[in-house]
Amino acid sequence: MKILVLGSGGREHALVWKLAQSAHTTQLWCAPGNAGTSLERLQNGSMVQNIPIGAEDLPSLLKFADEHKPDLTVVGPDNPLALGVVDLFQSRGLRIWGPNKKAAQFESSKVFSQNFMEKYGIPTAKAGTFNDASSAKNFAHELDGRCAVKADGLALGKGVLICHTFEESNRAIDEILLQKSFGEAGSSIVIQELLEGPEISLHAICDGQTAKLFPTSQDHKRALDNDQGLNTGGMGAYSPTPFLTEAQLAETGRAILGPWLKGCAAEGIDFRGLLYPGIMLTKTGPKILEFNARFGDPETQVYLMRLQTDLVELLDASAEGALHKIELRWNPNPAVCVVMASGGYPGNYPKGLPITMPPSIPPNTKIFHAGTASKNNQIVTNGGRVLGVTALGTDLASARQNAYDLTAQIKFEGAHYRKDIAVKALTGPQPR
Ligand code: AMP
């Protein structure tokens, strides 16, 4: 099977790495990819090829696909989904994995998602949706100013403002609705009550009829240890988390996916792709903060280290409506991913700095590239999140140790990474 992967981050390197391991894959392209994707080799010996087309350049992607006829295109990031890449490819008879534009609204519109959750009884925060500032402020006052104010549309993960007082909620509402700091993405907002508890990521692969739940994972959004510093795309992840037992996970899955599938059927939404709800485990049960409509990054890196099912067969079944035939099999060993970021990230950072890699990579570990490029045969930094150093272990503590041992051997100027990935999951603080 000839496969085209869209995207250039750590998630896409993990997807490419796993797809390359499948005997079904005969040719693999990544548009645009990174220095890591082009180092992957297929089972038939050929190398993955990077294609210099951005994941949002739909006309050029379509032209490439028309010429090279991939048997399946796999969409990594949210933007091309929201732009309708799936609908476009399908209209040209090209097979593509990911939700169509209507289904991708679960991520591209928080107002749509919130209304859907309320309509179909999916557990979520108490919330309201608004497009005028004064009724939004009244609602925020009812919550004593303790709320999350969210821009409706995609805002590079920055469109959520957490407030604890009236002053903060008034300012947040003005900022999004009146000053339009997130542009058109902020012409409507969702205001949710502030929830408390551990936050986890769920992933479910869907085919329009069936949804199959992955094990739990947890991301680390803030830049610094102990959840300090600015929000980032994600500084590390691990799977599974100890916060839900298998039975609780199955129950949570039923409570969310049962009404979600019913709602999709009622609304004529044919969701074939990955549904990724962000969940807070509150004292009164799990509540959804938001839906994403694609694989998480860096959750994908830990999931794909653990996944034993052939990824080509899995994505193909998801696109075909045949997931009921597929069994999800997981390595029982936990995985940990530590993200190494450029100095300055999530603010401004330099690019083009040489990266020194370890002389050898131990088994059951993998350095996934994110913001990297190849320059004169040297791998250099090319983004904020640079590498996702990922390891399996016989238990979480050893997975963590393996990931950090490898991370410590990688060098580039200004590199920073959190030292506390997965610490919350282990009993007692384990500073390194
Ligand atoms: P979202 O993009 O909606 O997941 O929000 C980004 C981050 O804001 C989440 O990962 C949470 O840490 C935080 N957040 C969002 N909604 C809430 C809420 N209702 N209560 C508390 N924290 C929230």
Regarding the beta carbon of 101 and ligand 1, being less than 6 Å apart is answered no
Per the CB < 8 A criterion, the answer to whether 216 and 244 are in contact is: yes
Residue 352, pLDDT > 90, answer yes
Backbone angle region of 235, left / alpha / beta, with phi > 0 → left and psi within -120 to 50 → alpha: alpha
Phi first, then psi, for residue 274 (nearest 5°) are: -115, 120
Per-residue confidence (pLDDT) for residue 73, from 0 to 100: 98
> Cβ-count burial of 23 within 10 angstroms (0-12 exposed, 13-18 middle, 19+ buried)?
exposed
- Mean pLDDT (the chain) is 96
- Atom of ligand 1 at shortest distance to CA of 219? 10
| Average pLDDT value for residue range 123-140 | 97
Segment 391-412, tens digit of pLDDT: 999 999 999 999 999 999 999 9
Question: Alpha-carbon distance 48 to 374, whole Å?
Answer: 14
Per the CB < 8 A criterion, the answer to whether 365 and 406 are in contact is: yes
Regarding the beta carbon of 222 and ligand 1, being less than 6 Å apart is answered no
Regarding the beta carbon of 102 and ligand 1, being less than 6 Å apart is answered no
Residue 156, pLDDT > 80, answer no
Per-residue confidence (pLDDT) for residue 123, from 0 to 100: 96
Residue 432, pLDDT > 60, answer no
| Average pLDDT value for residue range 275-298 | 96
Per-residue confidence (pLDDT) for residue 157, from 0 to 100: 73
- Atom of ligand 1 at shortest distance to CA of 193? 19
What predicted TM-score, i.e. pTM, was given to this entire model?
Answer: 0.96
Question: Alpha-carbon distance 224 to 231, whole Å?
Answer: 9
Specify the amino acid at residue 162: I
Regarding the beta carbon of 195 and ligand 1, being less than 6 Å apart is answered yes
pLDDT range class, residue 305, cuts 50, 70, 90: very high
Regarding the beta carbon of 125 and ligand 1, being less than 6 Å apart is answered yes
pLDDT range class, residue 158, cuts 50, 70, 90: confident
| Average pLDDT value for residue range 329-340 | 98
Per-residue confidence (pLDDT) for residue 205, from 0 to 100: 98
Question: Alpha-carbon distance 415 to 15, whole Å?
Answer: 25
- How many Å lie between the centroid of ligand 1 and the Cα of residue 1? 39
pLDDT above 90: percentage of residues in the chain: 96
Segment 66-92, tens digit of pLDDT: 999 999 999 999 999 999 999 999 999
Segment 224-271, tens digit of pLDDT: 999 999 989 999 999 999 999 999 999 999 999 999 999 999 999 999
- Atom of ligand 1 at shortest distance to CA of 287? 19
Q: In the numeric block, which tokens belong to residue 198?
A: 């551990």
Per-residue confidence (pLDDT) for residue 212, from 0 to 100: 97
Per-residue confidence (pLDDT) for residue 122, from 0 to 100: 97
- Atom of ligand 1 at shortest distance to CA of 195? 20
Specify the amino acid at residue 80: P
Per-residue confidence (pLDDT) for residue 25, from 0 to 100: 98
- How many Å lie between the centroid of ligand 1 and the Cα of residue 6? 27
Per-residue confidence (pLDDT) for residue 311, from 0 to 100: 98
Question: Alpha-carbon distance 91 to 392, whole Å?
Answer: 41
Question: Alpha-carbon distance 146 to 125, whole Å?
Answer: 12
Residues in contact with 126: Cβ distance below 8 Å, sequence separation at least 6, in sequence order: 143, 192, 193
Regarding the beta carbon of 290 and ligand 1, being less than 6 Å apart is answered yes
Regarding the beta carbon of 160 and ligand 1, being less than 6 Å apart is answered yes
Per-residue confidence (pLDDT) for residue 429, from 0 to 100: 36
DSSP state letter for 168: H
Helix (H), strand (E) at residue 267: helix 246-267
Segment 192-218, tens digit of pLDDT: 999 999 999 999 999 999 999 999 999
Per the CB < 8 A criterion, the answer to whether 133 and 187 are in contact is: no
Question: Alpha-carbon distance 220 to 230, whole Å?
Answer: 11
Q: In the numeric block, which tokens belong to residue 307?
A: 């996944």
DSSP state letter for 376: T
Per-residue confidence (pLDDT) for residue 431, from 0 to 100: 34
371: Cα separation from own chain's centroid = 16
Question: Alpha-carbon distance 289 to 286, whole Å?
Answer: 10
Q: In the numeric block, which tokens belong to residue 185?
A: 């993405």
Segment 22-67, tens digit of pLDDT: 999 999 999 999 999 999 999 999 999 999 999 999 999 999 999 9
Question: Alpha-carbon distance 409 to 391, whole Å?
Answer: 14
- How many Å lie between the centroid of ligand 1 and the Cα of residue 289? 6
Residue 427, pLDDT > 80, answer no
Per-residue confidence (pLDDT) for residue 290, from 0 to 100: 96
Helix (H), strand (E) at residue 108: helix 105-108
Per-residue confidence (pLDDT) for residue 430, from 0 to 100: 36
| Average pLDDT value for residue range 104-124 | 97
To test the pocket of ligand 1, the residue of 114, 289, 424 to mutate (highest count of ligand atoms within 8 Å of its CB) is 289
- Atom of ligand 1 at shortest distance to CA of 110? 3
Q: Angle at which helices 10-20 and 299-306 pack, to 10 degrees?
A: 20
Regarding the beta carbon of 152 and ligand 1, being less than 6 Å apart is answered no
Question: Alpha-carbon distance 286 to 220, whole Å?
Answer: 18
What's the chain's length in residues? Answer: 432
Residues in contact with 108: Cβ distance below 8 Å, sequence separation at least 6, in sequence order: 78, 81, 82, 153, 154, 293
Per the CB < 8 A criterion, the answer to whether 200 and 166 are in contact is: no
